[in-house]
A and B are shown apart, each in its own frame.
Chain A
Amino acid sequence: MIDIKKLLAGLVSVSMCFAVVIASTVAYLSGVFGTDEAPVPPGEVTEGIFLDRNGIEITSYSPEGKNHPAVLNFSKSMSHLIGYNSTRLGTSGLRNTLKNYILTGGKDDTGATITLTVDAYLQEALCSLLDGHKGSISIVNAKTGEILVLLSRSNSEVLFEADRVDEAYARDKDGKVLQYYSDYYNSIDGLYINMATLAEDSGGSVIKVITAYGLLSNGMGELTYYDADGTFLDGKIHNYAHTPYYETDLGKALINSSNVYFANAALTLGNKRMRDTFSTFMLGNEITLDFTTLNSNYANAQYLDDFILASTGYGQGQLQISPLHIASIIGTVVSGDGRMMKPYLIDNIADDGKQKEGTKKEVLTVIDTEVSHKLKELLASTAESYGLYDGFNKEDVTIIAKSGTAETWRNNGNHTYFGVGVEFGDNAYGICIDFVDEDVMSSSLIPCVNEIINELITACDIRG
């Protein structure tokens, strides 16, 4: 029999030491015995603030002190993104997603300071483009995935201002509050929805970019089609205004946005290649971002009716894609390095005196660089046909673009998109602007696109 009594006693002593260490650490961390770092009861924490990529305060500490929400400095342009912090409704937007950081004190009684990748001034400058419209503007750095602009307007008449939710909207003659802004906002369907991340409609002709990639990557870039009358599949599919484009190749089809050509292209590629191509750009997949999840759908059954397959090829059918996703796709093509970066918003988080990097840069998928270069050339011609190069030197700036007009199931009008890629210097950006439920064609967005490109280049020149 081994005499281990002393060793066993030692083991118990060691375990008691562990227990003392654990209990002491817990007592210290909880501050329950009154240390310098006193515990902060919930509700007495100063809400943390958001900064933009240049250190500009998007929200600021409330002048009224603790227990009051931070003040949103860019109410018109940032409400959908930042959201509200309301005593009546709780939190929304990033304030909800990141409430564990900004609404919880750590060693002090102040929430974290979160630096976002957005450019507040750029976002504010572009905000007026959405006045009177329902839609969004998204700008993504194609090389890194940083989101520079994520503007949303969910109602063409009512402007959602996050900081007003607890204010009185209507009072009676005695001054008693009849209705708060929160009640008013709640009465409007979908007012809080961020249109930039909503995958409600098909993307329209912007999807032809993906079909074009499919043709090029499968060695069918030389595909031509003779479009005699502007229709396809016995008239079920047609070009805009039934315009025939006669002998059409890929470049001409992109410039003219020929539905007939791309419908034929989809049938030529076949269901499997179409599915593979769509999957390359993450269509049909959930993309988990650091502030939301991007969804997208398309008809991906193993056996598809010709009409559905053909419709998918030119951007109708059962497709659903969000404007932010479109911006990412276009950005991937313009960047030239073949990497589709995952969009992200959180640059870093500073809390309790420590700063940590936020979201990791991540590559979602990789596309063939040779193919993307060819596609980039074709789309540059398309951009030129839209007049987007006016005022720019082609040696300094590369612009690619594709517009789209999608018929929607809502019968309220169309959903018009403009997907643009801009490359200058070492920078490459994917842009998408869209207007929802309007009876306008995508060409009406060209002046907006010009302004976006100008503002973007200016912002990059000034602020780096």
Chain B
Amino acid sequence: MTTTAKSPGRCIGEFIGHAIRYTIDFYKDFFTRIKDISVPDFSSRFVSVLLVNLAFAAYNYLRSGNGNIYMSVFLPYLFVNTVIVLLSCIYKSSHLFTILTSMLLTIGSGLQTYMISPDSENAMSEVIKLAAVQLTGIICSILALPVLSLITSGKISLKAVRLILFGVTVMCYLLLLVAGREINGTRAWLYIGSLSLQITEISKLLAIIHLSLFVIDSKLTDKIKMRDSLIMLLVHCAFLVVINELGTAVILGIIFFLQRILFYPDRKKIATEILALFLLGCVLIAGLFGISKIELPDTNNTAAEETAITEQTSGTENQEMSEQTEAPVSSSSQKKEDSVALTYLRRIQRIYPKLEKRVCVFLGIGDITADDTYQTDMAKKALRYADLFGTSKGSLASVPEISSDFVFIYVIVRLGLIPMIIILLTLIFIFGDTLIYAARTTRKNEMVIAATFICTIIFQSFICMLSNVGLFPVIGLPMPFISSGGTSTVVTLLMTTFIMYFMRKNTENKGKEVVRK
């Protein structure tokens, strides 16, 4: 697209017009592909997925003796998997990728349903709700595909797209700061009526796409790409740290680093860059430490706002702000509120002590209490019950967040070590399959995004697993496909659908050749 001096209004109009035309063409091609679905191909994929479903149902029947499981649990999820099979047939994507992702989705759905007991009165409605979320994810993916395809087509200004993405993500963060709800110390959720959206999952997706667009943009030099993507990453991390969503910040950092290694040719300076980033990190942490030591004024004269004094009577200086005791309950002078600036300064003050606490808890040093390590202690105790093929013994109720952050413990204890190894191998095969396509493809732009998406899924899974077994600090990352969480499921399915689209084979339509590169 050549750039000429045009008015902003005209540019926007052309942009929208182009986007609409592209979308129409995209869906025309989509429906053409639907007509071209081959029945044997669909049947073979469907049968494979069905066998996977049945195998999982049979495994659980043999373990638990519950014959109702299949009818009340797996049929709704088989419907979801059928839609995924349909999509993979439309794009003639990798058969292996389709089966393996369906398998992970089935395992995750089955686990989330088992956790609420398939015999309970609410089980069916929970199954339907989860299946509906998954279908929503697939529908959103189909709607988002033309947008991603347009972005990677090279036919629009990537600068404009990056600006839009950045603007939207900043608005997401501001919305969280203003109206977000804090759960377990993290302000990542927005409630719209009874619907809760984990906005940080959406911002993570947008940030990953944004980082990928820097790689794709051939108009920028590598130096500018790295500089601008680093600035963007730091802005994201600043917001994420303020809302205490460390997991997403870590994932974005890993993606940034991976893209640097994979997609920027000059790899000689990587060591220097790592050192520079490390020093920058030290400066930032020192800054946070300094801010944490600033004495802010109390805004009332009969009650202090915070307080968890750990060893005050013994004279140690380790004072930590605890959200449990923040804002003691109403007294007349407590009605006087902080200014907005003071509120956010207090929030920033809490970052360093929390970071320090997480590191100390992970390393087992410093003033840590049984409360601090409760989650990992209970996870390790639960692991003692693990067996090769799973056990129903041992209560997992003591492991906090068993359906999300610590779902891997559930997998190990209830399903067993063998299924755990199968899941690990599945992830590796999915990873390998996608990267093989990435290595062979000529669709460079799509490859960057697809490779980034699969790295996100895989590394997030590994970090979740490592933190569950105590080899990484607990940073609250859910396990894709397996953990609960509607927004996380939708985002994961969006990434998966795009990867399937990326893996598509060329197709021909009767009377009109439609070849996509």
Contact = CB atoms under 8 A, between A and B. Distances in A.
A42 B393 contact: yes
B424 A280 contact: no
Interface stretch (A151-159, A365-373, A447-455): A365-373
Interface string B437-450: 01100101000000
Contact of A348 (B258, B302, B370): B370
Contacts of A361: 308-313
Nearest to B372: A356
B331 A32 contact: no
Contacts of A349: 370
Given A12-B432, A15-B462, A29 B309 contact: no
Contacts of A4: 262-263, 438-439
A100 B398 CA distance: 7
A41 B385 CA distance: 7
B341 interface: no
Contact of A362 (B324, B377, B380, B431): B324
Interface stretch (A190-198, A269-277, A317-325): A269-277
Interface stretch (A16-24, A160-168, A225-233, A394-402): A16-24
Contact of A282 (B307, B329, B381): B329
Given A100-B398, A280-B303, A357 B439 contact: no
B435 A367 contact: no
Interface string B379-423: 011011111100001100010000000000000100001001100
B329 A39 contact: no
Given A5-B439, A100-B378, A19 B370 contact: no
Contacts of A348: 370
Nearest to B432: A12
The CB with the most chain A CB atoms within 10 A, among B309, B388, B427, B455, is that of: B309
A363 B309 contact: yes
Interface string A394-436: 0000000000000000000000000000000000000000000
B394 to A, nearest CB: 6
Given A15-B462, A42-B393, A368 B301 contact: yes
A171 interface: no
The CB with the most chain B CB atoms within 10 A, among A1, A8, A364, is that of: A8
Given A26-B420, A100-B398, A8 B435 contact: yes
A203 interface: no
Contacts of A284: 329
B370 A356 contact: yes
Contacts of B436: 8
Contact of B412 (A5, A11, A30, A279): A30
The CB with the most chain A CB atoms within 10 A, among B385, B436, B442, is that of: B385
Given A25-B469, A364-B328, A280 B302 contact: yes
Contacts of A1: 442, 444
A7 B427 CA distance: 18
A11 B313 CA distance: 52
Contacts of A62: none
B68 interface: no
Nearest to B466: A22
Contact of B309 (A40, A279, A362): A362
A22 B310 contact: no
A363 B305 CA distance: 10
Given A29-B380, A217-B302, A360 B369 contact: yes
Interface residues of A, number: 64
Contact of A32 (B325, B328, B388, B427): B388
B64 interface: no
Contact of A346 (B313, B370, B380, B458): B370
B426 to A, nearest CB: 10
Contact of A143 (B313, B435, B458, B462): B313
B338 interface: no
B278 to A, nearest CB: 20
The CB with the most chain A CB atoms within 10 A, among B311, B329, B370, is that of: B370
A105 interface: yes
B435 A39 contact: no
Contact of A30 (B331, B398, B417, B462): B417
B7 interface: no
Contact of B331 (A276, A356, A360): A276
A273 B302 CA distance: 13
A122 to B, nearest CB: 20
B161 interface: no
A144 B307 contact: no
A351 B384 CA distance: 15
Contacts of B372: 356
A42 B466 CA distance: 25
B322 interface: yes
Contact of B322 (A106, A279, A282, A362): A362
Report the 3 A-B pairs with minimum CB-CB distance, sorted nearest first. A30-B386, A276-B332, A363-B307
18 contacts: A4-B263, A11-B435, A15-B462, A18-B466, A22-B466, A106-B384, A276-B330, A279-B331, A284-B329, A342-B325, A346-B370, A351-B377, A357-B310, A359-B369, A362-B325, A365-B329, A367-B303, A368-B302
Given A19-B462, A21-B471, 17 more contacts: A8-B435, A8-B438, A11-B455, A12-B432, A18-B466, A22-B462, A22-B466, A26-B469, A30-B385, A41-B385, A144-B313, A277-B331, A279-B331, A285-B329, A357-B369, A359-B369, A360-B322
Interface of B: 258, 261-263, 265, 301-304, 307-313, 322, 324-325, 328-332, 367-373, 377-378, 380-381, 383-388, 393-394, 398, 412, 417, 420-421, 424-425, 427-428, 431-432, 435-436, 438-439, 442, 444, 451, 455, 458, 462, 465-466, 469-471
